[in-house]
């Protein structure tokens, strides 16, 4: 017998997942070479090993000078390039030193005038007519970005190119990062066959396991693909038990109301606690979220029972699984990546049901715009591949007009 149905609104279900994600313990960590840390989560903070910048730095090619000496004329007494340091005397009044972007400011100078803003006559310069210069202009003060010993990347920071560049600037060749969580993928259904098999007319290839594996990798997890579980209780239970050694279990299919949808029954027989067994959304309504108890030295394990239709599988992954997975990888628990965009055409909604539909968004500098992708329902993998986001249509309206601003879910 299946558990009593607990169907939540979309926001209630997401809040339930996030609450459990917030309470997760931090995973163990490991030290990795800097260039192997992309898409991982920082387990120890990165500290500045010296002031950033380590000297007063010029932000322009131009001339270092006393702002009070302008408009000039000023005598050019030297040149300093990036990577060099001025070793002459402190800058005297009515003198200037030519300077390149990134070079240290010579002692005594308090501003840099851009080369485009001066007029030069042999060994002297003056400001162009109408130009002025203020003390501190075009100079980044020493330590203004970070002081030596200051945290520049806190624990739980996701690591991408910007973070790797910052760590490198602080001298880090390795970083301490959280271990990737292992995510078990259990595809269920008598209709499924492996990729190498030649499917009979009534069979389909097991695409969900492969799609989920890539989504898991992108979200910072390590996918563990288990054999297809047929719609038979003993085989399904055996596969679920094999998945217990992973940090999170994703079951694809077998969570609807059909006679052979056995996932919830088997989970209940194993002592599962169900937080919800459905979400008022389309596609993805028969989504299950729960937790198996500790057993035989194995800790409790969260699980999601995802709908078997492939678009439903991927929509519910982005909406609910990905926030949990990222938290398991050591990141702060956060909502999915929602943005706002303008509808390019009229769209029908469904009162009382959140619709999360394949869509494409395009953008110029000023206005993101979204248009739904034509599709044939939640089994339409081709339409899902043509999309680059999902249009999130709130349940309080049955019609959305072109020009309305709606939420989109990035993927």
Q: What is the pLDDT of residue 314?
A: 94
Residues 204 and 254 in one domain: yes
Q: How far apart are CA 167 and CA 73, in angstroms?
A: 44
Beta bridge partners, 250, equal 185, 304
Task: Report the CATH number that the domain containing residue 64 is assigned in CATH.
Answer: 2.170.190.11
Strands (E) in 24-73, as ranges, are 29-33, 46-47, 57-58, 62-65
Q: Per the domain annotation, does 201 fall within a domain? A: yes
Phi then psi dihedrals of residue 348, to 5 deg: -85, 140
Distance CA 189, CA 206 (A): 9
Beta-carbon contacts of 114 under 8 Å, excluding residues fewer than 6 positions away, are 60, 61, 62, 138
Domain region containing 13? 7-28+179-328
Q: Are 296 and 328 in contact (CB under 8 A)?
A: no
* Closest C-alpha among 50, 14, 3 to residue 354: 14
Confidence of residue 364 (pLDDT cuts 50, 70, 90): confident
Domain co-membership, 201 together with 214: yes
Residue reference for tokens 């602080």: 170
In the prediction, which pLDDT does 377 show?
86
Q: Which of 202, 217, 178 is nearest to 317 (CA)?
A: 217
Pair 77, 185 in one domain: no
Written as one string, the DSSP assignment of 1-67 is -PPPP-EEEHHHHHHHHHHHHHTPPPPPEEEEEGGG-TT-BBSS-EE-SS-BSSS-EE-SSEEEE-G
CATH number, position 313: 3.40.980.10
Tokens in use for 185? 């993928």
Residues 216 and 198 in one domain: yes
Q: In a 3-state reduction of DSSP, which class is residue 393?
A: strand
- Residues 215 and 322: their CA atoms lie apart, in Å, by 8
Q: What is the pLDDT of residues 58-104, one digit of tens each?
A: 999 999 999 999 998 999 999 999 999 999 889 999 999 999 999 99
- Kindly state whether residues 276 and 305 are assigned to the same domain: yes
Q: Which residues contact 234 (CB under 8 A, 6 or more apart)?
A: none
DSSP for residue 317: I
Helix or strand holding residue 119 (H, E): strand 118-121
In a domain, 301, yes or no: yes
Does residue 350 lie in a domain region? yes
pLDDT at 1: 54
Same structural domain for residues 316 and 356?
no
The residue with greater pLDDT, 128 or 379, is 128
| Stretch 3-9: mean pLDDT | 86
Burial 210-235 (b: 16+ CB within 10 A, else e): ebbbebbeebbbebbbbebbbbeeeb
On whether the pTM is more than 0.85, the answer is: yes
Considering the domain architecture, whether residues 120 and 232 belong to the same structural domain is answered as: no
Question: Can you tell me whether residue 340 is helix, strand or coil?
Answer: strand
Whether the pLDDT of residue 41 is over 70: the answer is: yes
Q: What is the pLDDT of residues 161-191, one digit of tens each?
A: 999 999 999 999 999 999 999 999 999 888 8
Residue at 23 is within a domain: yes
Structural domain contains residue 34: no
Q: Are residues 202 and 215 in the same domain?
A: yes
Q: Would you say residue 223 lies in a domain? A: yes
Given this model, what pLDDT does residue 200 score?
A: 84
Residue 260 banded pLDDT, cuts 50, 70, 90: very low
What is the rounded distance in angstroms from the CA atom of residue 117 to the CA atom of residue 120? 10
Asked if the structure places residue 45 within a domain, the reply is: yes
User: Could you say which of 266, 298, 328 is where a domain stops?
Assistant: 328
Closest CA to 165 of 177, 154, 153: 153
In this predicted model, what pLDDT tens digit does every residue of 326-363 receive, in sequence order?
999 999 999 999 999 999 999 998 899 999 999 999 98
pLDDT in tens, 193-202: 887 888 888 8
Q: Residue 404's domain is classified under what CATH number?
A: 2.40.340.10
Residues 315 and 371 in one domain: no
Judgement on whether residues 205 and 309 belong to the same structural domain of the protein? yes
Distance CA 142, CA 179 (A): 36
Q: 294 and 273, same structural domain?
A: yes
Check whether 259 has a pLDDT greater than 50: no
As a whole number, mean pLDDT of residues 262-289 equals: 93
Asked if 304 contacts 288 with a C-beta cutoff of 8 angstroms, the reply is yes
Whether 184 and 323 map to the same domain: the answer is: yes
Domain count, the chain: 4
Domain assignment present for 349: yes
């Amino acid at each position: 017998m299946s558990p009593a149905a607990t169907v939540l609104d979309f926001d209630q279900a997401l809040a339930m997942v996030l609450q459990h994600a917030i309470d997760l313990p931090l995973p163990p960590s490991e030290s990795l070479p800097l260039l192997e840390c992309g898409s991982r989560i920082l387990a120890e903070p990165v500290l500045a090993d010296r002031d950033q910048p380590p000297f007063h730095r010029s932000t322009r090619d131009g001339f270092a000078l006393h702002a009070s000496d302008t408009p000039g004329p000023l005598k050019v007494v030297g040149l300093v390039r990036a990577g060099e340091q001025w070793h002459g005397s402190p800058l005297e009044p009515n003198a200037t030193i030519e300077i390149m972007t990134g070079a240290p400011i010579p002692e005594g100078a308090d501003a840099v005038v851009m080369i485009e803003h001066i007029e030069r006559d042999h060994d002297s310069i003056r400001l162009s007519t109408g130009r002025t210069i203020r003390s501190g202009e075009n100079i980044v003060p020493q330590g203004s970005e970070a002081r030596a010993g200051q945290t520049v990347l806190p624990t739980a920071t996701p690591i991408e190119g910007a973070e790797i560049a910052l760590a490198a600037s602080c001298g880090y060749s390795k970083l301490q990062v959280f271990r990737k969580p292992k995510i078990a993928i259990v595809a269920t259904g008598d209709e499924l066959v492996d990729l190498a098999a030649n499917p009979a007319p009534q069979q389909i290839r097991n695409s969900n396991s492969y799609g989920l594996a890539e989504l898991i990798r992108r979200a910072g997890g390590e996918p563990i693909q288990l054999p297809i579980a047929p719609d038979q209780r003993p085989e399904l239970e055996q596969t679920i038990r094999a998945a217990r050694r992973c940090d999170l279990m994703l079951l694809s299919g077998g969570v609807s109301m059909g006679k052979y949808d056995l996932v919830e029954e088997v989970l209940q027989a194993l002592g599962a606690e169900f937080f919800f067994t459905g979400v008022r959304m389309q596609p993805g309504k028969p989504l299950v979220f729960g937790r198996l108890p500790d057993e035989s030295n194995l800790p409790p394990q969260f699980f999601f029972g995802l709908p078997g239709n492939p678009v439903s599988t991927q929509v519910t992954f982005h909406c609910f699984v990905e926030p949990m997975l990222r938290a398991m990888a050591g990141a702060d628990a956060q909502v999915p990546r929602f943005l706002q965009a303008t509808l390019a055409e009229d769209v029908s909604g469904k009162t009382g049901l959140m619709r999360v539909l394949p869509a494409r968004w395009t953008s110029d500098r000023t206005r993101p715009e979204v248009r739904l992708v034509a599709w044939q329902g939640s089994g339409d993998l081709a339409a899902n591949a043509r999309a680059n986001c999902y249009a999130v249509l709130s349940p309080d309206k049955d019609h959305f007009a072109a020009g309305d601003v709606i939420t989109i879910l990035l993927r």
